[in-house]
């Protein structure tokens, strides 16, 4: 498990491109027959990938967690960004098709992942954060959850937000999770951007075509920086940072949050004329 420490925004002003990527960016999180996780000290959030191509993979505990099992003090969100697969939770089996999501609450001990077809393997992206209360395991499809239409073709940011785990959806302690799908011809996500001092966030970009990128913007509004993102890469967004991106082609991204509340609308907008 890779560890990423929290950093002060004043320090980030002096970072070069290599250091910015080291502190906030994650690549190679989807590897065949491996579980690859990253632990960030921002709200002690964990994110990563599970690709059970030829064998079942079990989510065990890690030395860094000092726990008897992974969800002893945590909760978990899983979205399948690949072929059909299944997640087993303490003996109960859930099939996840493409873009299905499941929430697993604190206290569940035996979590495993499997693909139904090794030639079209499941690609599970997972988010986890500390939890103080048990909530029931629940699966949802994108057709069952709240969908928010935002943006416009004229502003190149027409998109649909699929809200799975949030205050009015699947219940959790503090995990908030869903994904955003850009309409064809739109490239900007989450724009105009915002910060939210009460929560952190992680973006996972996927379905970026080969040889294309998304340029992710982060930093304080008057001290922005950028990170070039390829397919199936993730980026941490601290509470003090904006988080927005523009792609050279169509793409999707999973967003996950943890912090003081679960209100999706709790954000501090940044007017475009405040950027320098």
Enumerate residues 6+ apart whose C-beta is below 8 A from 166: 146, 176, 177, 178, 262, 264
Mean pLDDT score, 7-29: 96
Q: Is the pLDDT of residue 276 over 70?
A: no
pLDDT 10s digits, 42-54: 999 999 999 999 9
DSSP string, 46-68: EEEEEE-SSS-EE----GGGTSS
pTM: 0.96
Domain-wise residue ranges, the chain: 2-274
Q: Is the pLDDT of residue 24 over 70?
A: yes
Q: How far apart are CA 236 and CA 200, in angstroms?
A: 8
Q: Is the pLDDT of residue 221 over 80?
A: yes
CATH architecture of 2-274: Sandwich (2.60)
pLDDT 10s digits, 117-151: 999 999 999 999 999 999 999 999 999 999 999 99
Q: Is the pLDDT of residue 236 over 80?
A: yes
pLDDT on residue 265: 85
Other residues' Cβ atoms within 10 Å of the Cβ of residue 68: 9
Nearest to 39 by CA among 10, 9, 67, 13: 67
* Position 274 confidence tier, pLDDT thresholds 50, 70, 90: confident
- Which helix (H) or strand (E) element contains residue 180? strand 176-182
Mean pLDDT score, 261-273: 87
Q: What 3-state class would DSSP assign to 248?
A: coil
Mean pLDDT score, 191-212: 94
């Amino acid at each position: 498990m890779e560890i990423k420490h929290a950093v002060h925004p004043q320090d980030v002003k002096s970072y070069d491109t290599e250091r910015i990527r080291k502190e906030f960016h994650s690549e190679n999180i989807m590897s065949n027959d491996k579980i690859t996780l990253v632990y960030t000290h921002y709200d002690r959030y964990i994110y990563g990938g599970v690709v059970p191509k030829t064998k079942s993979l079990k989510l065990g505990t890690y030395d860094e967690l000092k726990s008897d099992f992974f969800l002893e003090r945590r909760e978990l969100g899983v979205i399948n960004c690949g072929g059909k697969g299944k997640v087993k939770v303490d003996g109960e089996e859930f099939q996840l098709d493409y873009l299905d999501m499941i929430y697993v609450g604190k206290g569940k001990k035996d979590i495993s992942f499997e693909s139904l077809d090794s030639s079209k393997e499941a690609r599970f992206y997972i988010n986890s954060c500390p939890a103080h209360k048990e909530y029931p395991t629940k699966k949802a499809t994108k057709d069952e959850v709240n969908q928010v239409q935002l943006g416009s073709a004229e502003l190149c940011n027409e998109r649909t937000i699929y809200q799975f785990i949030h205050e009015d959806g699947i219940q959790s302690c503090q995990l908030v999770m869903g994904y955003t799908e850009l309409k064809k011809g739109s490239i900007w996500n989450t724009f105009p951007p915002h910060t939210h001092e009460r929560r952190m966030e992680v973006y996972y970009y996927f379905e970026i075509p080969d040889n294309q990128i998304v340029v992710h913007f982060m930093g304080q509004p008057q001290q922005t920086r950028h990170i070039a993102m390829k397919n199936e890469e993730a980026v941490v967004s601290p509470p003090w940072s904006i988080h927005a991106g523009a792609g050279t082609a169509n793409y999707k991204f999973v967003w996950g949050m943890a912090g003081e509340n679960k209100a999706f609308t709790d954000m501090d907008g940044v007017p475009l004329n405040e950027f320098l």
